[in-house]
Chain A
Amino acid sequence: MAKMRSDRLKIVFVLCLAFVSIGGQHFESKVAQLLRDESEDIKCFVEVKDLTCFWEEERNSLPDQYTFTYSYENKIKDCVVSSLSLLASNKTVFFCKLPKTPFFTTLDVKVSRDRRMLYSRSLNAENFMFLDPPRNLTVLSSGKEGQLNVSWLPPLLKYMDDSMIYEVRYAEEGSNMGKVEVIKVSTMLVLLGLQSDTRYKVWVRVKPDGVAYKGYWSAWTEPVLGVTQPSELDPLIMLLVLFIGLILCLLSMTVILSHQKFLLKKLWPDIPTPERKFPGLFTVYKGDFKEWMSQNNSSMWGRSVHVFTEELPSPLEVLSEVSLSSHGTSQREERKPVEEDEEKESERSDSGLPDRWREPPQAHWLMEQLRTLQENPQPLSQSLLPQSHDTYVTLNQNSQGDGVREVDDVFEETLPLQTLFTTAGTPSLNTSHSDLGSLQQSSGSGRLSSQSSFEYPNHTWPPKGPGYAYMAVADSGVSMDYSPMSSSRIVELGRHRMYTNDYKNEIFLHKWPLSGEHTKSGSDFCMGPIW
């Protein structure tokens, strides 16, 4: 029995010590804080129910030297002075704790030493409440994203439960930037607008609301950690998005179906078929055009014009028809006038002879001439000099460099050229042979010169009338001009890159006697470079 009692006493003693020490910690911390923040000589605060006033003095002083008195409502009372050593700041304070603190009345406090008043102060005790921090702070994540539920208990104080104001401070773990929320009376708070899946630290402190009681902010509680929920896709938002997407799809489908034909026509246009123009061709005659034509000859003829392509018919003028008795055929040659401008490059390589050129039936005669020339080559320069103003030919750009290339066509060009000039020297122009030869050569040269391609699709030499022996053909590219010239033009093979194919044919003079008169004037119209 005695042993049990002693044990109980020990337990009670230990608990009391613990309680006092905890209370003392609070007391010391409050004293330390006010010592830092309060500027008055006598610093006072109320802890729970009793007012404590303290002041800082030199270390050598003793508490007994001081007299602490307080008066209210015409009553004067004394208080026992005690000393306290603050371990943290290494300071000593003297304090007095009023045993029965009168509230809601004016207190006059005085501190004197050796009957000499040191400090005095007039205050109302209820205005200096210094509460303990809130208890049992808990932080829980709410069911929603970015929210935390914070709750706590007010400090133990009897009369002030409904007149307390709280301050909640929260910050991300590891961050110093915190936010503060103020809340009155209520002891729980929902923090909003937080980041999801993040750890937060939360602190709380309390103060009287200032209506009935006033005081200092309490110390912050120990921080409590809370974790917010990870972000999730809100099912409502997902449903709404799906719903709206479905509605949009339906609308677009409706629009597409209602304008199906129009859209198909735009995206997948029908290949035009000529069935409309040829009624019955494909259905009745199954594509047999002959049959169809024979049946619908009269009625369809008028319409055929529309069927043809939109190309304008190119004016074609036959310059000459030479009936060659020895060769027995009259040729109808198409010659394309060729024009060239020195300013413009005609670098287009000879792409070969146009297909429209017919093989002259006198090819073998031409070859004989070529062979003759080959055996007796004459200097080119002589041959090139215009001995007559009547006939000369300018050759294309392939004839470059030193003169005669090894290209056969160039060689072919040169040989007939020589032949041309020789025949031009004869006064008589009526020799059929020469004419023929020249014609042949001209044809050849014309053929050859037609190799040169020039880029003047739109520039055609307009026909000047029957007196002008030239032919103008308006087509895509090549144009040749055979206008007779009287002016001297130096044409040298291989000397210039650009040539004007100004072909002048005696035959033209022969054919159109007036052409001689026109030659001079015609030469004025000759195009091409004048060297």
Chain B
Amino acid sequence: MFHGSGLFAVLLMVLEWTRPGLSSPLRPICDLRVLDHFIKEAWDAEAAMRACKDACSIATNFTVPLTRVDFDVWEAMNIEEKAQEVQSGLHVLNEAIGSLQASNQSYVLQSHVDASISNIASIRQVLRSVSIPEYVPPASGGEDEETQKVSSISELFQVHSNFLRGKVRHLLASAPVCKQGVS
């Protein structure tokens, strides 16, 4: 009896300390300067890849998300649609860039690849903090409409930069949680 209660107490303490399971809700990050930091790094990667032509050329196709933002169309969409578009696009982008990690590339390319992967993960955290719904894998057959093909690494990083500056940023700017505090 005594041993059981003691073990139970120790277990509680350990669990409390590690806190497994769902993480506690994050404080909303509405400041766009956080996202601007990632965007600036994406700019640097794009510029570096544009400059690096020979060492960074890979004869493979990448599936990347669409980055176009039509303001009229965008304004007409609701938050869930926007969220879905952004989250799926981040997913696709993550996979495309992540495919470069496996291959042995130059140090410059590897550093930018790693930075981009890390940034995408951080952006997901930021979106989570403002209560943007998580990515839900769509039913099969819906991916092709929202993706495109690129054939070079420089184009890949260009898409990466455009996506962050466009859709992700406008989604964050229009997050309801952030707008509630302002108004």
Chain A residues in the interface with B (C-beta under 8 A): 49, 72-74, 100-106, 124, 126, 158-159, 162-163, 211-212
How many angstroms from the CA of A100 to the CA of B170 in the assembled complex? 17
* Residue among A124, A163, A211 with max Cβ neighbours from chain B (10 Å): A211
Segment at the interface with A among B108-116, B128-136, B160-168: B160-168
Residues in chain B near residue A101, CB distance under 8 A: 70
Please determine whether A100 and B72 come into contact, CB atoms closer than 8 angstroms. Answer: yes
Nearest B residue to A49 via CB reads B71
If A49-B71, A102-B70 touch, does A211 touch B170 (CB 8 Å cutoff)? no
The smallest C-beta distance from A279 to any residue of chain B, in angstroms, reads 100
Contacts of A102 on B, CB cut-off 8 Å?
68-70
12 new A-B contacts at CB < 8 Å, known A104-B163, A126-B165, A159-B173 = A73-B66, A73-B148, A100-B70, A102-B69, A102-B70, A105-B162, A126-B166, A162-B173, A163-B32, A163-B36, A212-B36, A212-B39
B94 within 8 A of A: no
Q: Which 8 A-B pairs have the closest CB atoms?
A: A104-B166, A105-B68, A102-B68, A104-B162, A211-B36, A103-B69, A212-B165, A104-B67
Interface of B, helix, strand, loop or mixed by DSSP:
helix
B27-50 CB contact bits vs A (8 Å, 1 = yes)? 000001000100110000000000
Q: Collect the chain B residues with CB atoms within 8 Å of residue A162's CB.
A: 32, 173
Bitwise, B147-173 to A at CB < 8 A (1) or not (0) is: 010000000001000110111011001
A100 vs B74: C-alpha distance when bound (angstroms):
12
A258 to B72, CA, bound (A): 91
* A74-B148, A212-B165 as given contacts; A104 in contact with B39, CB under 8 Å: no
List A contacts of B72 (CB < 8 A): 100
Known: A159-B170, A162-B32, A211-B39. A103 touches B66 (CB 8 A): no
Residues of B in contact (CB 8 Å), total 22
Residue of B with least CB distance to A106: B158
Chain B residues within 8 Å of A, Cβ to Cβ: 32, 36, 39-40, 66-73, 148, 158, 162-163, 165-167, 169-170, 173
Contact A103-B166, Cβ < 8 Å, known A49-B71, A74-B148:
yes
Q: Are A211 and B40 in contact (CB under 8 A)?
A: yes
Contact A104 B167 (CB under 8 A): yes
- Secondary structure at chain A's binding surface: helix, strand, loop or mixed? loop
A124–B169 CB distance below 8 A: no
Q: Name the B residues within 8 Å of A103 (CB-CB).
A: 68-71, 166
A212 CB contacts on chain B under 8 angstroms: 36, 39, 165, 169
**What residues of B have a CB within 8 angstroms of the CB of A106 in the complex?**
158, 162
Q: How far is the CA of A132 from the CA of B162 in the complex (A)?
A: 24
Q: How far is the CA of A104 from the CA of B169 in the complex (A)?
A: 11
A74 to B32, CA, bound (A): 31
Task: Give the docked Cα–Cα distance between A102 and B32 (Å).
Answer: 22
Chain A nearest CB, measured from B82 CB (Å): 13
- Some 12 contacts from A to B, beta carbons below 8 A apart, are A73-B66, A102-B70, A103-B69, A103-B71, A104-B67, A104-B166, A106-B162, A159-B170, A162-B32, A163-B36, A211-B39, A212-B39
The residues of A that contact B36 with a CB separation of less than 8 Å are 163, 211-212
Give the docked Cα–Cα distance between A74 and B150 (Å).
11
- Look across to chain B and name the residue whose beta carbon is closest to the beta carbon of A158: B71
A105 touches B165 (CB 8 A): no
Within the complex, the shortest CB–CB distance from A185 to chain B, in Å, comes to 10
Residues of B within 8 A of A73 (CB): 66, 68, 148
Residue pair B39, A72 in contact (C-beta under 8 Å) = no
Q: Looking across the interface, which residue of chain B has its beta carbon closest to that of A100?
A: B70
How close is A125's CB to chain B, nearest CB, in angstroms?
Answer: 10
Cα distance, A103 to B67, chains bound together (Å): 8
Instruction: A344 to B10: give the CA distance in the assembly, Å.
Output: 127
Could you say which residues of chain B place their CB within 8 Å of the CB of A163? 32, 36
Question: Are A104 and B68 interface neighbours, CB within 8 A?
Answer: yes
